[in-house]
């Protein structure tokens, strides 16, 4: 079923991202992430490799989840939003802020766009599809995490950038996963074609 396929791919994306974050924070504990956030781990080779693996896996499976969605209607909007998110995640991963001013500004710009896009997507899902207390709470979690991250951007800020970033991403992931049953209800799912398991689309017809 389409919803199950999308759920599996989004779950894989989330597990890859949060699993990589958990791994690097356990193996490479440092207070520097309070001021530099997740991005700090992307500037050191030993932590870059596992974290970049999580980023790339998250990006790929977010893209695959979007590929299963139809182009029409609200699901078409979600499809495009997931693809934009996928590209932004890759861009953030491969623009370490220590590589000069251009990389620093690019990294910060991509990160800001990602947070704004995810918050707008969450608000759109809540408003159009799933107005419930859980999603409202997850949007509040994102706003609080975003404010924490914003106030931590200057190095002399409140220094909870990592915590704010993680809180924001958890709120977004839970809202999106929780809302799939409303985004792809049973009556709609029965009218949509099943996603193809063939890597390039529809499998070629077998010759008789």
DSSP 45-95: HHHHHHHHHHHHHHHHHHHHHHHHS-SSHHHHHHHHHHHHHHHHHHHHHT-
Q: What whole-number distance in Å separates Cα of residue 179 and Cα of residue 30?
A: 35
By C-alpha distance, which of 10, 53, 15 is closest to 179?
Answer: 10
Q: Per residue of the chain (208 residues), give pLDDT as tens.
A: 788 889 999 999 999 999 999 999 999 999 999 989 999 999 999 999 999 999 999 999 999 999 988 877 788 999 999 999 999 999 999 999 999 999 999 999 999 999 999 999 999 999 999 899 999 999 999 999 999 999 997 666 789 999 999 999 999 999 999 998 888 877 666 655 555 544 444 444 444 3
pLDDT value for 182: 86
pLDDT value for 64: 96
pLDDT value for 192: 57
By C-alpha distance, which of 172, 126, 199 is closest to 17?
Answer: 172
By C-alpha distance, which of 91, 182, 94, 87 is closest to 134?
Answer: 182
How far are the Cα atoms of 15, 35, 63, 190 from residue 59, in angstroms, in the given order?
12, 25, 6, 28
């Amino acid at each position: 079923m389409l919803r199950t396929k999308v759920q599996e791919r989004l779950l894989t994306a989330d597990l890859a991202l949060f699993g990589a974050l958990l791994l690097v924070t356990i193996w490479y504990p440092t207070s520097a992430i309070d001021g530099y956030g997740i991005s700090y781990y992307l500037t050191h080779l030993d932590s870059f490799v596992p974290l970049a693996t999580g980023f790339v896996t998250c990006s790929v499976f977010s893209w695959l989840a979007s590929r299963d969605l139809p182009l029409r209607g609200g699901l078409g909007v979600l499809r495009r939003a997931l693809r934009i998110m996928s590209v932004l995640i890759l861009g953030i991963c491969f623009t370490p802020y220590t590589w000069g001013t251009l990389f620093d500004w690019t990294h910060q710009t991509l990160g800001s766009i990602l947070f704004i896009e995810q918050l707008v997507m969450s608000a759109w899902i809540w408003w159009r599809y799933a107005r419930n207390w859980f999603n409202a709470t997850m949007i509040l979690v994102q706003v609080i995490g975003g404010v924490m991250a914003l106030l931590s951007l200057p190095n002399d800020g409140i220094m909870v950038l990592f915590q704010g970033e993680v809180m924001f991403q958890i709120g977004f992931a839970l809202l999106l996963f929780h809302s799939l049953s409303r985004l792809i209800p049973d009556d709609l799912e029965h009218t949509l074609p099943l996603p193809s398991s063939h890597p390039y689309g529809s499998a070629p017809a077998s010759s008789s």
